[in-house]
A and B are shown apart, each in its own frame.
Chain A
Amino acid sequence: MSGFLEVEGASKAFGGIHAVEDIDFAVPEGEICGVIGPNGSGETTLLGLLSGTYRLDRGAIHLKGRRIDGLSAHRTVQEGVARTFQTSRLLFRSPLAANLAAAAAARPIASGDPATEPAELLALVGLAGRGGTVCSSLSNSEQRLAMVAVALATRPHLMLLDEPAVGMSPGEAAALAHVIRRIRDERGATIIIVEHNMHFLMGLAERIMAMNAGRKLAEGTPAEIRRDPGVIAAYLGA
């Protein structure tokens, strides 16, 4: 196995609904990995399990050999896992730079230069010069990028992006794809993206896992996934 992120037999039920059922998968370090599935297939729950939002019912998650399932969300962040959300979650009444400072202040020990870091992060996600803007005044796509910057400010090894391109124009989505590649190349972060925008994901992800009804349906390169009969059936209801 890759030794970076390893998920074994992950299962999670809410009441009687099996949101995630016996998922096995591994992500090697430095990969951009996509997760797809028809709405309600359990992709967001899977991200929630990886980020400590939910606890596993069964199974195990290891990051760099350390077991991270069962940790609270803030402990998971300290282990190097950061996430963004489907609906924008920011400190909306505060300037963008204050959001980044809040993430820096949340670290267990003070580190780095808090004065220069926000500017660097904002430039990386393409929001240079927007640090003074109150987050509620940012546009939708700027808010999506701001969430990525806030997640980056926690200094993650693994970034989980939940529909980062939602509501974006094709041009904005292309810029976001460029940003995500830069984060991987320049920060060395491994990235898992849940996305319904196929055009966006097919051009960005190196490997894709397809889910349906909480189970893993297929795994492979974007080209393989596009040809997979099971995936086609799940999407078209054949």
Chain B
Amino acid sequence: MHERVSGRSALDARGALVSRLLAGLGPARDYLGIALLGVVLWLLLAETNAFYSSVLAAILIWTIATSGLNIIAGLGGYPSLVQGAFYGIGAYGSAIAMQWGQPYWAAVPEAMAAAALLGLVIGVVFSRTRGQYFAIGMLFSGLVVALILNNWRSLTHGALGLTVEFGFANIDQLNVAIAATATLALGFFRFVSRSRLGWRLLTILENEDLAEHIGVPTTRTKLTGLVLSAAIGALAGTLIGQYNGTISPDLFDYFVGFVMFVALSVGGAGRVLGPLLGSVFIVGVPNLLNLPSGIGLLLAGLIFVGVSILLPGGFMSAIDALLLRLRPKAGPP
């Protein structure tokens, strides 16, 4: 009995030391964790068989796109349903730029800039709308982009789609790029969430009327958030083009932005790892089960409904609750 008690307290002491060391690392701890996660994801991407690797690649590319969405929607609380369009601009923009003779590394910032510009225009047009009106405006904007991709045949070849030049030496390099970009996207979100921009977006999320009155330039803050979301969405789009080798408008249809919003909500909006968890459930599970895309969407919808009812904060909130239960009980607060 005595033995067991002392063993337990030694364990507690060691645990306390570890947590004190981790606390001493401060923000570096989060970035370290994200970097470690990135290495694990890269190993999984590189070492598993082709099928699992392709499912994981799809998850990670969606993680990048939804991490971008997490800035305007997760921090700012604005239901941006247009992320699929920025994703499409990234894919088409980089593919077209490469057709015009640009290397991949140059095509990426160009596609991101194009999406950012589109985000700015959409943001200015809808900057005075909130809530469901903003959501409708975003859905409408996504529809316009989908229509352009379908009908500007001289540039996009319409429904036939485009063949994308491969910009890497081999698939291993592309896997490294996907894992590294996903890691950077998660890390960038972590950085933004604790920055002044992140605080300002959170103020807008909670009380936009108050935000103006404590000095937050709300319109400029929202535009900045939307532009960053757009650029990161486009970055994800350039990678899906590289991975698939071909792109067609149906990959970027108007409802894709809606599904991205669902993925973010399922994972945990405003949380660093929310996009990854959401993408696992919304992209990974249907792909692993090899479901036809219509059935996959249906399953995603069911997951969304279930999570909305049972875990309003997404799966991240369930993990929080679990960690809270596992943590050794401290003294009274």
Instruction: Write the residues of chain A forming the contact surface with B, with a CB cutoff of 8 angstroms.
Output: 51, 53, 72-75, 77-78, 82-83, 85, 89-94, 101-103, 105-108, 110, 150-151, 153-154
Query: Contact check: which of A77, A78, A91 meets B207 at CB < 8 Å?
Result: A91
Interface digits, B187-209 against A, CB 8 Å rule (1 contact, 0 not)?
00000000010011011001101
Residue on B nearest A94 in the bound complex, by CB: B206
A53 touches B214 (CB 8 A): no
The answer for the CA separation of A73 and B199 in the assembled complex, in Å, is 18
Given A74-B215, A150-B214, A154-B215: A106 in contact with B209 (beta carbons within 8 A)? no
Query: Contact check: which of B206, B207, B211 meets A106 at CB < 8 Å?
Result: B211
Shortest CB-to-CB span from A39 to chain B, Å, is 22
The answer for the CA separation of A151 and B210 in the assembled complex, in Å, is 10
The answer for the CA separation of A45 and B213 in the assembled complex, in Å, is 15
A105 touches B209 (CB 8 A): no
Interface residues on B, range: 10 to 19
Number of A-B contacts (CB under 8 A): 69
The answer for the CA separation of A46 and B199 in the assembled complex, in Å, is 30
Shortest CB-to-CB span from A46 to chain B, Å, is 16
Instruction: Write the residues of chain B forming the contact surface with A, with a CB cutoff of 8 angstroms.
Output: 196, 199-200, 202-203, 206-207, 209-218
Q: Can you list 19 pairs linking A and B with CB atoms under 8 Å apart?
A: A73-B213, A74-B216, A77-B214, A82-B214, A83-B213, A89-B207, A89-B209, A91-B203, A101-B199, A102-B200, A102-B216, A103-B215, A105-B200, A106-B200, A106-B203, A106-B214, A108-B215, A110-B196, A150-B214
B203 touches A93 (CB 8 A): no
Chain A residues lying within 8 Å of B215, measured Cβ to Cβ, are: 74, 77-78, 103, 106-108, 154
Given A89-B207, A90-B210, A91-B206: A105 in contact with B196 (beta carbons within 8 A)? yes
The answer for the CA separation of A73 and B213 in the assembled complex, in Å, is 6
The answer for the CA separation of A203 and B12 in the assembled complex, in Å, is 58
Shortest CB-to-CB span from B107 to chain A, Å, is 36
The answer for the CA separation of A105 and B200 in the assembled complex, in Å, is 7
A89 touches B210 (CB 8 A): yes
